Amino acid sequence: MSKEKTYLVTGGAGFIGSNYIKFLFETYPEVKVVNLDKLTYAGNPENLKSVENRSGYYFVKGDICDRVLVADVFRKYSPDYVINFAAESHVDRSIGDPDDFIKTDIYGVYSLLENCRKYGIERFVQISTDEVYGSIDKGSFSETDTFNPSSPYAASKTGGDRLAFSYFVTYDLPVVITRASNNYGPNQYPEKLIPLFITNAMDDKKLPLYGDGKNVRDWLYVEDHCKGVEYVLQNGKNGEAYNIAGNCEKQNIEITKKILELTGQSDKLIEYVKDRAGHDRRYSLDDSKIAKLGWQPEYDFEEAMRKTVQWYQENEEWWRKIKSGEYLEYYKEHYGQDL
Ligand code: NAD
Ligand code: TYD
């Protein structure tokens, strides 16, 4: 159906965006994909090695906050769909310095929306997050629940989420919003819980578990998330938000023990450390709305975790370059500037 469409994917060199681009080419071999990415520390062209030379793939290095550059991209490629994955995405970094979060996750969304309005598009998908709802002790959040973001990351993502909605209400822009659970899988930057702990365990390093290790996250395999985003793009209703859950809630200590088991390591590597400031206790999504639309995750946790651990075992070069700082040198050589 979408085989001749042009997708503008922002943040396509990051974890989920790069998986989504590869999924698009596997699903629609004739599709055109423009990847607009600033290549921050989290953006890595190596994530797209398998598609970078194929026809239909175009890479633009640039900032979504740069409205003039975004306008040039719209004029040059006339995208049918815009899927906004670009964001500063790590909660701990947002606690350390929120500045780039406010810029990219709010102003960046505005810059994209303004250009969509000016040049016209068929659909704008704002990739939001379950973190906009905040923490919930019992039960699950549905799409109409109140926003209660706790971290500067979650608050800035809430700003982007609501700005996108306002462009639907005010300007009739065809916007849909997705709010997914915690993702895991190949090419995730090794600062997030799962890739950090897998790669530390492979190197006999400690696994720093925050607080009592009993915070709960709902885990969604990245391939399922990509399919969910595409499903909403094709079947969602303008102005609506859709939760994309993994239906797989686990305490962090359970995730940690699974990683130790799959890497053949012992509990001795676990190190309880100072809790994260404002650490949300539990995330939980009610996904009945997207289920009614006809979508549900396919992966089973055990299988997806095995695949994930195996990927990091088979792709040591990828994460070692990042963890050792070698990627920073590569970046400077290729782009003539520091990250
Ligand atoms: P990531 O940090 O791995 O990748 C972000 C990408 O955006 C990078 O390639 C980076 O270079 C790019 N980027 C950052 N600022 C930019 C800017 N100003 N202009 C252009 N490009 C820029 O993030 P991810 O984990 O792949 O998350 C992707 C999206 O999904 C984000 O919007 C995030 O909020 C959302 N999300 C993530 C999760 C998760 O578990 N990772 C869950 C729900 C929602
Ligand atoms: P993270 O991967 O940073 O995702 P998010 O904060 O967006 O949910 O963290 C997932 C959970 O793991 C969260 O409860 C914080 C916890 N965590 C640790 O215990 N240790 C760590 O080193 C990291 C990065 C996270």
The verdict on residue 215 lying in a domain is yes
338 as an active site residue: the answer is: no
The series of mean pLDDT values per 10 residues for the chain, 339 residues long, is: 82 99 97 98 97 97 98 98 98 96 98 98 99 98 98 98 98 99 98 98 97 98 98 98 98 98 98 97 98 98 98 98 79 63
pLDDT for res 325: 82
Q: How far is it, in rounded angstroms, from Cα 233 to Cα 285?
A: 20
At 215 the three-state DSSP class reads coil
The verdict on residue 213 lying in a domain is yes
- Ligand 2 in contact with 215 (CB < 6 A)? yes
Strands 249-251 and 216-221: antiparallel
Average pLDDT, the chain: 96
Measured by CA distance, the residue closest to atom 21 of ligand 2 is: 193
The verdict on residue 54 lying in a domain is yes
- Ligand 1 in contact with 280 (CB < 6 A)? no
The verdict on residue 70 lying in a domain is yes
Measured by CA distance, the residue closest to atom 25 of ligand 1 is: 15
The verdict on residue 230 lying in a domain is yes
Which of the listed residues 127, 179, 217 should we mutate to test ligand 2's pocket, taking the one with most ligand atoms within 8 A of CB?
217
CB neighbour burial string for 135-146, b if at least 16 within 10 angstroms, e if fewer: bbeeebbebebe
- Ligand 1 in contact with 37 (CB < 6 A)? yes
What are the tens digits of pLDDT across the range 82-104?
A: 999 999 999 999 999 999 999 99
In sequence order, what DSSP letters do the residues of 113-172 get, joined into one string? HHHHHHH--SEEEEEEEGGGG---SSS-B-TTSPP---SHHHHHHHHHHHHHHHHHHHH-
pLDDT for res 328: 67
Measured by CA distance, the residue closest to atom 10 of ligand 1 is: 43
Decide if 243 contacts 201 (C-beta within 8 A). no
Counting residues of the chain whose pLDDT is more than 70, the rounded percentage is: 95
pLDDT for res 21: 98
Decide if 34 contacts 58 (C-beta within 8 A). yes
- Ligand 2 in contact with 196 (CB < 6 A)? yes
pLDDT for res 334: 59
CA distances to 104, 151, 179, 333, 337 from 125, in Å: 16, 23, 11, 34, 32
Number of domains in the chain: 1
The verdict on residue 85 lying in a domain is yes
**Which CATH number does the domain housing residue 312 bear?**
3.40.50.720
Q: Could you tell me the residue range of the domain that residue 62 belongs to?
A: 6-335
The verdict on residue 1 lying in a domain is no
